[in-house]
Amino acid sequence: MIRNIEELNALRDKTLKTMDIRLDRTQQPGTEGGKIHILVCGVAGCASSGSLKVAEAIEEQIKANGLAEDVKMIKTGCFGLCAEGPVMMICPEHVMYTKVTPKDVNEIFDSHIKGGKVVKRLLAGEKEYEEIRDRLPQIPFFAMQRRIALNNCGIIDPEQIDEYIALDGYQALAKVLTEFEPEDVIDEIKKSGLRGRGGGGFPTGRKWESSAVVKEHTKYVICNADEGDPGAFMDRSILEGDPHSVIEAMIINGYAVGSHQGYIYVRAEYPVAVQRLGVAIRQAEEYGLLGNDILGKGFNFNLEVRLGAGAFVCGEGSALMTSIEGKRGEPRPKPPRSAEKGLWKKPTVLNNVETYANIPQIIRNGADWFANIGTEKSKGTKVFALGGKINNIGLVEVPMGTTLRQIIYDIGGGIPDGGTFKAAQTGGPSGGCLPAEHLDTPIDYDSLTKLGSMMGSGGLIVMDEHTCMVDLARFFLDFTVDESCGKCPPCRIGTKRMHEILVRITEGKGTLEDLDKLEVLARNIKASALCGLGQSAPNPVLSTLKYFRDEYVAHVVDKKCPAGVCVSMVKFIIDNDACKRCGICQKGCPAGCISGDKNTPFAIDQEKCVKCGLCMEKCPFKAILKNA
């Protein structure tokens, strides 16, 4: 139990001594709490690629070598290099190893832990270095990042509240409860320029204010952790790697608007996040940081986790609230706004996970500190989930205003297998695609909106020449049609019609007229759908039509899919110059449509061909071409 700020500070100072080797790069072995710390990413991508087995192997090695006194293993949150998982770091030297298997652990112990010799082949990035201590910050992937929301991820054990407290955790809450009136908190957040990280980018301070001014006894604070954009996993990583930052921010939010009850609405698809949050809330309650008379300052706040059940629309504020009420998660018309009548018709503030993760540091370091980072209208940093055809798939956090080129090429390491960049998709099913001509645009809320996309929650999917933009638009409409809640006709019927047209085009049955129809429909849905999701559902179509109209035209006029994705338009042709007439393709063809023998050239009967592509896969001479 922490009864007051003095006790909080005492606990901070005491715990910090046991983990300071993880923070600075002094290279000095730790004095208290073990000489060496092995940090293993235990969340999301790394856990899926087997980091928990690596962790077990480390525990075994510690035991087998009798190193329990000196070596401590900590399961942390995300380091960001998800494609290289499992990732681990050894402190005090801050040596990062990637793609570690349980087998490698032996070598790491024999060579590094016991012998002090780095295992070069497992090093992250380039294997050569001059000074091991300077190495990590020089790796481009890390050099250009600035971590605020992900500050503690990869450093602390998310299941130990003490470690969060050691890194100034709950100090922002202490500051707010002693030095700030509720309206001062709102002023500070307003001054910082923080905008919602979940999609629309509404100014957070103003959001809080509009709920604070409503005079009602019962109010609610909600954290939207229903991260539904496919390809976005930053909220998952924050919840799994640093859950207390969100909890602390929600208590501050409660104090600022006069609410004593919060809810965190999490996707049920994130079981680890749900479990971590449960642990974190229990620890905060045991310490009295949640509950009554927090830090002896007379403020009460309670927090409850609610699970989603797999409905994308529940990421929309009013739909999320109806879902917490135990109903079908359908949005409702506004006004009244949620700030006046939200959950159970009470004033409600709803913020996204990443937005909350910024709050404690804004309070601790001051609004000016935060407002100095980023662009004129978009302050601070943004976490992006890099995915698709890019080398360094993972989580990156960069100041607003970083260009797409810097993110994709400098941090992301460019396109794999010598591919060419074709487009980047931001904002998920509500966003759009940015073509190569906009690679140098500084990314912030307004620049993305201007280009016909949106920030969304921060998914950034990179595509190369093998992605068909028409097919991608169809993919997103597939998603929207499937996830439309069905309440309003523009979304329910309109997206369905758009989808039908797109299917027609990808099957080679489209006409030029269809393209106009798509645009008209898209505009109408944007203008008339009930909620933000419906209004933004046509974006993927509109932006691909805007930047890749040629590809649509190729589909409807030439009946060709330039990327070779749309099956009905793909043609397999045998290149007779390269063909050695071995007959392997013929034997493998399930449709029996390949003719030819030793004396006659081989040919594919296009009428009979089912376009399975098996012949191309099997040909040892690469003599079968797709879509030539």
Partner 1 sequence: MTQNCAGCADFQEKSGQLSKIIAKYKDTQGALIPVLHEAQELFGYLPLEVQRQIAQELDIPLAEVYGVVSFYTQFSINPKGKYQINVCMGTACYVKGASEILDKFRTRLSIDVGECTDDQKFSLDACRCIGACGLAPVVTINDEVYGKLTADEVDDILDKYEDR
Question: What's the CA gap between 46 and 432, in Å, rounded?
Answer: 29
HSE-CB at 197 with a 13 A cutoff on CA atoms is 31
DSSP for residue 460? E
Number of residues that bind partner 1 (CB under 8 A): 52
Q: Which two tokens stand for residue 491?
A: 């979304």
The H or E element spanning position 432 is: strand 432-435
Shortest Å distance, C-beta 504 to partner 1: 18
Contact mark string toward partner 1, 234..273, x via CB under 8 A:
--xx------------------------------xxx---
* Listed ranges 162-170, 292-300, 457-465, 568-576: which one lies at the site for partner 1 (CB under 8 A): 457-465
Question: Where would I find the H helices in 24-93?
Answer: 44-48, 51-64
Q: Could you tell me which residues are beta bridge partners of residue 570?
A: none
Q: Is 620 in the site for partner 1 (CB under 8 A)?
A: no
Q: What is the DSSP letter of 195?
A: B
Cβ contacts of 575 within 8 Å, gap of 6 or more:
623, 624, 625, 628
Interface with partner 1, residue 142, by CB under 8 A:
no
User: Measured from the CB of residue 86, what is the shortest distance to partner 1 in angstroms?
Assistant: 11
628 near partner 1 (CB under 8 A) = no
DSSP readout, 512-576?
A: HHHHHHHHHHHHHHHHH-SSHHHHHTTHHHHHHHHH-HHHHHHHHTS---TTS--GGG--EEE-T
232 binds partner 1 (CB under 8 A): yes
Q: Of 66-74, 325-333, 347-355, 370-378, which segment contacts partner 1 by CB under 8 A? A: 325-333
Shortest separation between residue 92's beta carbon and partner 1, angstroms: 27
User: Does 48 interact with partner 1 (rule: CB under 8 A)?
Assistant: yes
| Cα–Cα distance, 228 to 312 (Å, whole number) | 5
Contact region for partner 1 (CB under 8 A) — 12-20, 117-125, 284-292, 309-317? 309-317
Residues β-bridged to residue 421? 464
Q: How far is the CB of 344 from partner 1 (least distance, A)?
A: 7
User: Which of 488, 533, 492 shows the shortest CA–CA distance to 317?
Assistant: 533
Q: Which is nearer to partner 1, 286 or 325 (CB)?
A: 325
Options 11-19, 22-30, 60-68, 326-334: segment touching partner 1 (CB under 8 A): 326-334
Residue 229 interacts with partner 1 (CB under 8 A): yes or no: yes
Does position 502 interact with partner 1 (CB under 8 A)? The reply is: no
The contacts of residue 431 (CB under 8 Å, 6+ apart) are 425, 448, 453, 454, 455, 456, 459, 536, 539, 540, 543
Q: CB-wise, 45 or 92, nearer to partner 1?
A: 45
**CB within 8 Å of 37: residues ≥ 6 apart:** 19, 21, 22, 30, 71, 72, 73, 74, 90, 91, 92
CB of 83 vs partner 1, minimal distance in Å: 4
Q: Which of residues 187-206 bind partner 1 (CB under 8 A)?
A: none
Two tokens, residue 623:
């003599």
Q: Per-residue x/- marks for partner 1, 388-427, CB under 8 A? A: xx---xx------------------------------x--
Which residues here bind partner 1, judged by CB under 8 A?
A: 44-45, 48-49, 82-85, 227-233, 236-237, 268-270, 306-312, 323-329, 344, 385, 387-389, 393-394, 425, 428, 459, 461, 463, 467, 472, 475-476, 479, 485
